[in-house]
A and B are shown apart, each in its own frame.
Chain A
Amino acid sequence: MRARKLSNEKEQLVTEAKAIQIGVPKESMRDFIKEVMKMPGGEKILECIQCGSCAGGCPTIFAMDYSPMQIIKMINLGMKEKVLSSSTIWVCSLCYTCATRCPRNVDFPTLMMSLRNKAIRENLVNNCAKSNFHRYFFEVINKYGRMHVPELFVKLLDITNFNSLLRNVRLGLRLFKTGKLQLRAPKIETSWVSSMLEKTDQE
């Protein structure tokens, strides 16, 4: 079943690539490539020779809809929407295995972070990442200047997935029991946070 599904996806990819090449004006395709090349991590995408060593060593590839190398190819074909809404950019664990080995210096994980940013801004975030983790994390940091694990924990608890809920609650309890978890919120001077945010928030 799985194999069948894979090949379906593949076909779809090919058709789409074709459509892009034929249907989409070259200009808008170029626009996306140019945009990506300006992002941190995107500088070298045209260098990619599709050798596959990134895909070969990636520890999370089995959960990605497109492999790292396919994402690069898709960027080079200008498939903006497909790329930004892919699960790959959220599944990547940012382990830098691929970047360390890429013979053409493509910095894939850094690019993934840039694409996450873009996907959030363009509201194209894939379902697998709908948990709003990034936003919550940011809110906590913004509030305390530091991480406050319990608060983030609670914000993130996914009530829809019972197993995961259970596991996470247990994890929290476990940490608490061993006395590792600090329940008290960090107390540092935070008046500067808002001023800093103001200066650095570009969008």
Chain B
Amino acid sequence: MSQKPSIGVFICHCGGNISDTVDVTRVKEAIGILDQVKVSETLDYLCSNPGQEMIKNAVREKVLERVVVASCSPRMHINTFRQVMKSVGLNPYLLEIVNIREQCSWVHGDKEKATNKTIALVRAAVQRARYLEPLTPEKLKVTESVLVIGGGIAGIYSALELADKGYQVYLIERNPSIGGHMAQLSKTFPTFDCSACILTPKMVSLSHHPNVKIFTNAEPVLVEGSSGRFKVTIRVKPRYVDLYRCKACEECAEICPVEKPSSFEENLVQEKAIYIPFKQAIPNASVIDKDYCLYLTPYLAVLGPPGKRGVCARCKKNCKSDAVNFGQKDILLDLKVGAIIVSTGFSLMDPLLIGQYSFGFHPDIITNIQFDRLMLQGLHKPSTGEVPKKVAFILCVGSRSETASGRSYCCKIGCMTAIKQALLLDKAVPEADPWIFYTDVRAFGKGYEEFYAKARGHLTHFIRGRAAEVIPNGSSLMVKATDTLLGKQIEEQFDLVVLSPALVPNKGTKELANMLGIDLGPDGFFLEVHHKLKGVETKRQGIFVAGAALGPKDIHETTMEAMAAASKVATFLGRGEKSVSPEVVYLIPGRCNLCGICVNQCPTKAISKGKNEVIINPISCNGCSICIPVCPKEALDLKNTTDEQMIAQIKGIAEGEDTTPRKIAFVQKRTAYGSVDLGGQNRRSYSPEIRTIRVPSMARLGIKHILHAFAAGADGIIFVEGEDSIFNEDRMRERAMLFKKDLGKLGIHPLRLQPTTTTLPQYEKTLVLFDNFVERVKKMTPITQEKREEVKKCLESEKIIE
């Protein structure tokens, strides 16, 4: 590639769409005399076959090294012309497209001014083209295995899906068995499937799958590496029973002297210190609870219940397969994975926090999950063992509350669960009398409204009113509430009261988010990138979330998300190789002094500290450029939007003989640029003084660029950020404020810089702002040539005020 590459410029008439408003011949002539421009041509319909042929021939004959096409928006035909480049052996990134239709001819009426603007835009493109570099998408190796954290239905489903696709899957679960909450449920709404019957076959096939390795009693402790190549350290806690030797005969549990509340049975039942969590547990082997075992917790041996003191080890002595092993220790394992799925689910809020329902003050005030367990144990009152007839279901316990202990969001499953349980009660107990105290019945979803109707058909009492209090009253329980529809206060006695506590993030969610470098929402659950379009992606490439870890939801939605996450992982890992866009940030060698500022700023954790310099992971980097202007050493730059290229383009736009004032609008390349284009498509006219430059986001801009623009002749600058940008409105305005201050110091009116954000359909807002801005600047005293020289000097002396 020569030092001064030859450039060909092609200007399209677009069947009059352009040439009616722009004097293309004048443009062609004005550009033709520029340095390095070997060809300057115009033609009707450059995108047509003859148009493409013309470009190809010109490249071949005149040995062009760069191509500038002035035509419609790059959003229309960039791929057409890149294809042309490829077919004549030129790198597609050596092409520059100038948008002289949507953002020029369609929106201006004055031919003279439109032509001048076009000349400026094309000149800028030519200047930029001088610095274009060939780029090729990088191919990076990724590890073809996946870590799934959390073995509830979400984890199980996505693990199976990925294992079936041929990926190696590691599933880690912190409990002694996989299954999550679904394993505890009785029947499930809205279809009354038996939960265990539909879940356990999945658990079994997972455990037999050749591509799956399950670790129970395990949690991640450290995540290193980067997207596509993670190294995750997990801690596997001792089970004290050899998984492979244990035959699950449970003879050990029979002789174990210690009892403890069963957490699987939600503390309704006692189990032994050595136990199998539930019949269908996977892995199906005993486990010892260290905190209760007399052998493992020596102080219990001394201080434990009388008659049971003393070092025990009865299980070990008795086990015929010699499976008990008190010597097991914590094991740390390193797993190499390319992607991670987080499916850590939820937990239930402790209803003790909502004091008025007297949870904990009477054994017959229980939670909904306890009711599901009671259904499976044979429905009874925990206090006496009698069969309850009249049961109150109290909804929204701690949900939809703005109080200190409450949760502002809806638990989403409480209503349907209560309806399900009312129907189950009705079936199980003759003369059952379920009452549901609801705030609003939320029965969205397929089959839910019908399910609700069914419960009404069974004469369930639906009381509209959040219960005020539950008062333990000897053997029965009194519920006080108001039926808000009748406006009547009621006091009723019940045999059993079932509370629907709010669903809250699982314990350790915050720590896990920190470890993985992903965000939590204001509700404390993991945050997806986009609620509608990127529902299982996190801000870190290669890390996905599914199920209740994202927020309360039912099983149907959970499994849908699990499959979506699995599919996303498969796309991400591809066939072990990942093609990465070349438009990412790179490090200019020899400048970085490891100050680490950029590491903290990067929203996707693409930058990490290396030995002498930072290291940038091109898979993670999305080119947002937030890091570039913050680097005090100017050690970072963005491929295809380098500082050199940008400054050349800025100068090209702002310089020139014509006397029209010019404003540069920096427009975020996706939403905002599309929005301005939309204005063009609707022929919404605005001042030709506005000239746009496409940038990845406003984050790319430093004070340097602003000053160059003013030095070269611009008299105003607009930032148009997309509302979807990672560089959100607040951060953008914050940075714009800094620029304004600096401008003020240099004697340039701070109002000559105007930031705004937009969405695609909001083009009108942006264009009105363009109009107003032009008017406002008109009223200011013009920037003198001396001022511009001063700014130029300031730039040269490198005394930039960053």
Asked if A and B touch directly (CB within 8 angstroms), the answer is yes
Q: Check if B400 is an interface residue, CB within 8 A of chain A.
A: yes
A6-B487, A52-B464, A56-B468 given; A103·B481 CB < 8 A:
no
Please, which residue of chain B has its CB at the minimum distance from the CB of A70? B487
Interface contact B466-A52, CB-CB below 8 Å: yes
The complex places the Cα of A69 from the Cα of B467 at a distance, in Å, of 13
Q: Check if B730 is an interface residue, CB within 8 A of chain A.
A: no
Residues of B within 8 A of A61 (CB): 482, 489
Instruction: Count residues of B near A (Cβ-Cβ below 8 Å).
Output: 21
Residues of A within 8 A of B764 (CB): none
Interface contact A53-B400, CB-CB below 8 Å: no
A56-B480, A67-B482 given; A49·B400 CB < 8 A:
yes
Q: Check if B406 is an interface residue, CB within 8 A of chain A.
A: yes
Interface contact B396-A103, CB-CB below 8 Å: yes
Interface string of B383-420 (1 = CB under 8 A from A): 00000000000001000111100100000000000000
Q: Check if B547 is an interface residue, CB within 8 A of chain A.
A: no
The complex places the Cα of A62 from the Cα of B481 at a distance, in Å, of 13
Interface string of A78-107 (1 = CB under 8 A from B): 000000000000000000010011111100
Interface contact A69-B482, CB-CB below 8 Å: yes
Q: Check if B484 is an interface residue, CB within 8 A of chain A.
A: yes
The complex places the Cα of A67 from the Cα of B791 at a distance, in Å, of 70
Interface string of A22-59 (1 = CB under 8 A from B): 00000000000000000000001001011111111110
Q: Which of A49, A50, A70, A101 lies in contact with B356, CB distance below 8 A?
A: A101
Residues of B within 8 A of A170 (CB): none
The complex places the Cα of A185 from the Cα of B437 at a distance, in Å, of 54
Residues of B within 8 A of A44 (CB): 402
Interface contact B489-A62, CB-CB below 8 Å: yes
Q: Check if B552 is an interface residue, CB within 8 A of chain A.
A: no
Q: Check if B439 is an interface residue, CB within 8 A of chain A.
A: yes
- Distance in angstroms from B438 CB to nearest chain A CB is 9
Residues of A within 8 A of B484 (CB): 50-52, 55, 69
- Distance in angstroms from A59 CB to nearest chain B CB is 10
The complex places the Cα of A55 from the Cα of B483 at a distance, in Å, of 9
The complex places the Cα of A105 from the Cα of B406 at a distance, in Å, of 10
- Distance in angstroms from A199 CB to nearest chain B CB is 36
- Distance in angstroms from A119 CB to nearest chain B CB is 22
A interface majority secondary structure: helix
Please, which residue of chain B has its CB at the minimum distance from the CB of A100? B356
Residues of B within 8 A of A101 (CB): 356, 468-469
Q: Check if B465 is an interface residue, CB within 8 A of chain A.
A: yes
Residues of B within 8 A of A54 (CB): 468
The complex places the Cα of A67 from the Cα of B466 at a distance, in Å, of 14
Residues of A within 8 A of B466 (CB): 51-53, 56, 103
- Distance in angstroms from A179 CB to nearest chain B CB is 39
The complex places the Cα of A105 from the Cα of B480 at a distance, in Å, of 20
Please, which residue of chain A has its CB at the minimum distance from the CB of B399? A103
Residues of A within 8 A of B402 (CB): 44, 47, 103-105
Q: Check if A134 is an interface residue, CB within 8 A of chain B.
A: no
Residues of B within 8 A of A53 (CB): 465-468, 481
Q: Check if A18 is an interface residue, CB within 8 A of chain B.
A: no
Q: Check if A174 is an interface residue, CB within 8 A of chain B.
A: no
A51-B439, A56-B481 given; A10·B465 CB < 8 A:
no
Interface contact A57-B468, CB-CB below 8 Å: yes
Interface contact A56-B400, CB-CB below 8 Å: no
A51-B439, A70-B487 given; A57·B469 CB < 8 A:
yes
Interface contact A52-B400, CB-CB below 8 Å: no
- Distance in angstroms from A96 CB to nearest chain B CB is 13
Please, which residue of chain A has its CB at the minimum distance from the CB of B465? A52
The complex places the Cα of A58 from the Cα of B489 at a distance, in Å, of 9
The complex places the Cα of A57 from the Cα of B481 at a distance, in Å, of 6
Please, which residue of chain A has its CB at the minimum distance from the CB of B489? A61
The complex places the Cα of A58 from the Cα of B466 at a distance, in Å, of 13
Please, which residue of chain B has its CB at the minimum distance from the CB of A69? B484
Please, which residue of chain A has its CB at the minimum distance from the CB of B357? A101
The complex places the Cα of A101 from the Cα of B469 at a distance, in Å, of 9
A-facing residues in B448-493 (Cβ within 8 Å): 464-469, 480-484, 487, 489
- Distance in angstroms from B520 CB to nearest chain A CB is 23
- Distance in angstroms from A94 CB to nearest chain B CB is 17
- Distance in angstroms from A8 CB to nearest chain B CB is 12
Residues of A within 8 A of B487 (CB): 6, 10, 55, 67, 70
The complex places the Cα of A96 from the Cα of B71 at a distance, in Å, of 71
Interface contact A55-B489, CB-CB below 8 Å: yes
Residues of B within 8 A of A62 (CB): 489
The complex places the Cα of A52 from the Cα of B488 at a distance, in Å, of 10
Residues of B within 8 A of A105 (CB): 402-403
A-facing residues in B696-711 (Cβ within 8 Å): none
Residues of B within 8 A of A69 (CB): 482, 484
Residues of A within 8 A of B464 (CB): 52
The complex places the Cα of A115 from the Cα of B400 at a distance, in Å, of 27
Please, which residue of chain B has its CB at the minimum distance from the CB of A3? B488
Please, which residue of chain B has its CB at the minimum distance from the CB of A68? B482
Interface contact A56-B482, CB-CB below 8 Å: yes
A6-B487, A52-B465, A53-B467 given; A103·B482 CB < 8 A:
no
Residues of B within 8 A of A70 (CB): 487
Residues of B within 8 A of A47 (CB): 402
The complex places the Cα of A52 from the Cα of B406 at a distance, in Å, of 16
The complex places the Cα of A186 from the Cα of B22 at a distance, in Å, of 96
Please, which residue of chain A has its CB at the minimum distance from the CB of B398? A103
Residues of A within 8 A of B480 (CB): 56-57
Please, which residue of chain A has its CB at the minimum distance from the CB of B464? A52
Residues of A within 8 A of B406 (CB): 103
Residues of B within 8 A of A97 (CB): 468
Residues of A within 8 A of B (CB): 6, 10, 44, 47, 49-58, 61-62, 67, 69-70, 97, 100-105
Identify 10 residue pairs between A and B in the complex whose beta-carbon atoms are under 8 Å apart, listed by A's number: A49-B400, A49-B439, A51-B466, A53-B468, A56-B465, A56-B481, A56-B482, A69-B482, A102-B403, A104-B401
Given contacts A58-B468, A67-B487, 5 further A-B contacts (CB under 8 A): A49-B439, A51-B396, A53-B465, A57-B469, A103-B402
> 9 tightest A-B contacts by CB?
A56-B468, A57-B468, A103-B401, A52-B465, A55-B482, A51-B466, A52-B484, A56-B481, A53-B466
